[in-house]
Amino acid sequence: MSTTDPIRAARDEDTALATIMHTLLRKGEPQQALDAFDSLCATGYKPRSSGPHAALMEATAATIEAADESGSIFALARVTRLTRIYDDAISSGIAADSRLLSSLMNSCNRLGEPKQAMDAFLNSRSEVAAPDVHVLRAALYTCLDLRFRRETRGKASAFLRRINSVAKQHSLPLRGVSDLMLRAHVACAPFRPSTSDNNPSTSID
């Protein structure tokens, strides 16, 4: 076997770039993360796996958030920039996976667009990507965000049922998200007011 495996070398490049971008994101430098991606692509580099595009979505969301403190950018324009990155990755031959899907959902949530994050989970993107605990965590955060926004509050309970169904269907482990799952169920539980404020025997379920 040759010591130079082009597929492995390409994946190592992807891992290195994604690592650099995430490091810059943790330092609060999303524009530098975007510049790192663009600079390497200018040399002819093309990602072969989902890592760089996932980091690109997160960096894009962070730069939009920083540049749009007043909320002047229309929601559709904000989300379109993210979905374009996702779609570009797929059209380039990168298989849709949980990393891409969870990054898209997290990025939508970061921009205050949980409805779009929910749509990403429910539409064809959730069918082509095998969901894992990272997708489950992103979905639960989406559910909570839906619940606490007046315009999307009514969608949260049905979405939580869908999350539970997907988790069961794919036998996803809940250990790492049990706290989020509990918070989502509590938040989505129907409010049951007392039938009589003067009835001391009334209990709270």
Provide the percentage of residues in the chain whose pLDDT is more than 70: 84
Q: Which residue has the higher pLDDT, 70 or 80?
A: 80
Angle of helix 114-122 relative to helix 133-147, nearest 10 degrees, comes to 140
The pLDDT value recorded for residue 175 is 85
Give the model's confidence band at 190: pLDDT under 50 very low, under 70 low, under 90 confident, else very high.
confident
Give the model's confidence band at 170: pLDDT under 50 very low, under 70 low, under 90 confident, else very high.
confident
CA distances, 199 to each of 175, 190, 202, 204 (Å): 40, 21, 6, 12
Distance CA 177, CA 77 (A): 31
Number of alpha carbons in the 13 Å side-chain half-sphere of residue 27: 10
The pLDDT value recorded for residue 180 is 93
Q: Is the pLDDT of residue 201 over 50?
A: no
Lowest mean pLDDT, pick from 6-10, 152-156, 181-185: 6-10
Q: Is the pLDDT of residue 49 over 50?
A: yes
Q: Is the pLDDT of residue 124 over 70?
A: no
Number of alpha carbons in the 13 Å side-chain half-sphere of residue 62: 20
The pLDDT value recorded for residue 202 is 34
Q: Which structure tokens are listed for 51?
A: 């890592």
